[in-house]
Amino acid sequence: MQRGSSERELAAGWEAEAEAVAVAEAPAAVAAAAAEPVGVDSGAAGEPERKAPEEQSKERVRAQPRAAEEGDALVTPRPPPTLPLAKPQPARVRGLCPHRKPRSKGRGCRRSSGRSADEYCSQRPVTVDSSKARTSLDALKISIRQLKWKEFPFGRRLPCDIYWHGVSFHDNDIFSGQVNKFPGMTEMVRKITLSRAVRIMQNLFPEEYNFYPRSWILPDEFQLFVAQVRMVKDGDPSWKPTFIVKPDSGCQGDGIYLIKDPSDIRLAGTLQSRPAVVQEYICKPLLIDKLKFDIRLYVLLKSLDPLEIYIAKDGLSRFCTEPYQEPSPKNLHHTFMHLTNYSLNIHSGNFVHSDSMSTGSKRTFSSILCRLSSKGVDIKKVWSDIISLVIKTVIALTPELKVFYQSDIPAGRPGPTCFQILGFDILLMKNLKPILLEVNANPSMRIEHEQELSPGVFENVPSLVDEEVKVAVIRDTLRLMDPLKNKRENQSQKLKQPRAVKEEPSDSEPASASDANPNPEAHLPSICLKQVFPKYAKQFNYLRLVDRMANLFIRFLGIKGTMKLGPTGFRTFIRNCKLSSSSLSMAAVDILYIDITRRWNSMTLDQRDSGMCLQGFVEAFFYLAQRKFKMLPLHEQVASLVDLCEYHLSLLDEKRLVCGRSGASGARALDSGTPQEAAASAPLAQGTPPACTNSTHKVSHSRHALS
């Protein structure tokens, strides 16, 4: 019988192989049965031919010996022929070969082409559940076809390798595989939450985070906004600022407008009904063809812990459709002049659809860089500043993302691993400094646009610019997240290694698929995503102070799945880190906890859990650091307190580890000797600290009393 011709035909050829074996061996089995003497069990020499249940029952009846009857002739039974003794075979289990491994539909494990389960797993296609993909479905389908993976557009009962969701991590219950959303990301990149996260970093590192405009959160900081604007105007009467108001939950330019003075009636009218962020408006942007534009860059957050960040080498540039003029009371309401949102400008009569990458109202970012380079601009410097902006922004977001992650996927419980594509909207100023406008958790991945054929009649038309950028981002994200990539690489390494004993393949057995095509991505272009972290970790790790504070916060949460710290957890944090003193009593600690928690709970809309949120904990941490290290800058105060807390907690962990070891040793000694001997020998053998020694004596004494 010929073996399967290739790995790709392995699964499909199993059934055909079993039929071929049956047909090829049937004549031999019949001939052997005819040649056997009567009374010899053919199963001793080989596997008996399977028969129908009715025939087997009749044969069992015929084979039963009947009682001797009167008149029977005395016949001496002929002894069976001597057969060679066979080695004892293990009991056969249905579905397992004699080697106790899953068998194919053929008779033996040797006929299953001899390939291991890992090798077969490395050759199977990656499975993708696209039932929740929504607007990114078309680009996702193209990417899956290019990768030659398996798509399940209506879901699948069995687990898939990758789940592609359109909006949120909570689109479905997933317990394995990989999902393209992080829990809490949608909440974290909202205007208010993002502004608060960046503000914390601006307090610690004001120079490093000056790429985000000064912001105020409304309605909570409305009075502060009015007072600060008045103070600056009093100091500089020539200052005539413009502010942009962005609703917290708004998207695609909805509800955004410009104002010149805080007393604007629209601002006061929307405070309670719709929380918002008000920012300084960038009045001197870089212009191309006299038009204002922004940049949509795609950033892949591949992993949260350890932190891995990738940036797409190309992005999109979205242009306004009206020539730019600096804001004045006459043009503040000119949306097509000041707002670069594609969803707004597409309704302008001046919007230009173009199949060219370097013309029209939507172009590739690489075409803009080429144009700037032709004018002598240092493109490497522009890219370096953008990469720095992206890394610093993600560092500001990760602390609270960790809290969300441990709440939805607690350690020790089954759950998927996460990754996510983020859309960074960046504006280049006239001096080429990049400014962060916002971060989108669900950037549009549509690769077509609506074109109005006649009044009120629209048609979806493919957009070559969108397809060029977005398909590459999705495809290469999938390539980076490929769960079978390591297995294929390991299998390829095994094939390259020389074998000690290598059988020559027969002429009838062609080469396997893995030999014929060792690299399944050979037909694809190079990956368009560039790793920037941890590649540049050394330059940015000093900024991760809040990340270390989040680790302390999570440690003392106590209950899995919660996101707020209770009063007992806060007291335990103070006690374990040795932060209380004569000047900071535990009563003062309780008052600090109550004041901060009450204020932050009044500012947050989510009242499901009571307790101190991460941002409240950061505020308390800043207060404690300023009390303990008074003569240092804030970031050095915080860094010193973080080091101190981590030091005391490491000592506590080490002490618990030693106590655990000594407790185990004491338990073994108690089982082998008297309680007194165990209490004396356990601390001496392990070098146990006095506290552990006392506890061991107490345990031994109590056990002796019970005995």
pLDDT at 695: 41
User: Which stretches does DSSP call E strand in 150-304?
Assistant: 150-152, 162-165, 178-179, 215-218, 243-247, 257-259, 276-280, 287-288, 291-303
Cβ–Cβ under 8 Å, residues 42 and 33: yes
Cα–Cα distance, 23 to 667 (Å, whole number): 66
pLDDT at 326: 93
Per DSSP, the residues of 584-638 read: S-HHHHHHHHHHHHHHHHHH-S--SS-SB-HHHHHHHHHHHHHHHSTTS-HHHHH
Task: Divide the 707 residues of the chain into consecutive groups of 10 and give the mean pLDDT of each group.
Answer: 40 39 39 39 40 46 42 43 48 49 45 51 82 86 94 91 82 78 92 96 97 92 91 86 88 82 70 82 95 97 96 96 93 92 88 86 95 95 97 97 88 83 97 96 88 74 91 96 80 63 50 52 89 96 97 88 91 95 92 95 71 95 95 95 96 89 65 47 41 43 37
Q: Which helix (H) or strand (E) holds 532?
A: strand 529-533
pLDDT at 662: 76
Cβ–Cβ under 8 Å, residues 311 and 297: yes
Cα–Cα distance, 370 to 366 (Å, whole number): 6
243 burial (CB, 10 Å; 0-12 / 13-18 / 19+) is buried
pLDDT at 497: 65
pLDDT at 343: 86
Cα–Cα distance, 653 to 185 (Å, whole number): 32
Q: Which helix (H) or strand (E) holds 342?
A: helix 342-345
Q: Which helix (H) or strand (E) holds 449?
A: strand 448-454
pLDDT at 380: 96
Cβ–Cβ under 8 Å, residues 262 and 279: no
Cα–Cα distance, 48 to 34 (Å, whole number): 13
Cα–Cα distance, 233 to 229 (Å, whole number): 6
Among residues 660, 698, 661, the alpha carbon closest in space to that of 679 is found at 698
Tell me, rounded to whole angstroms, the distance of Cα 513 from its chain centroid: 31
pLDDT at 457: 75
Among residues 250, 296, 304, 301, the alpha carbon closest in space to that of 273 is found at 250
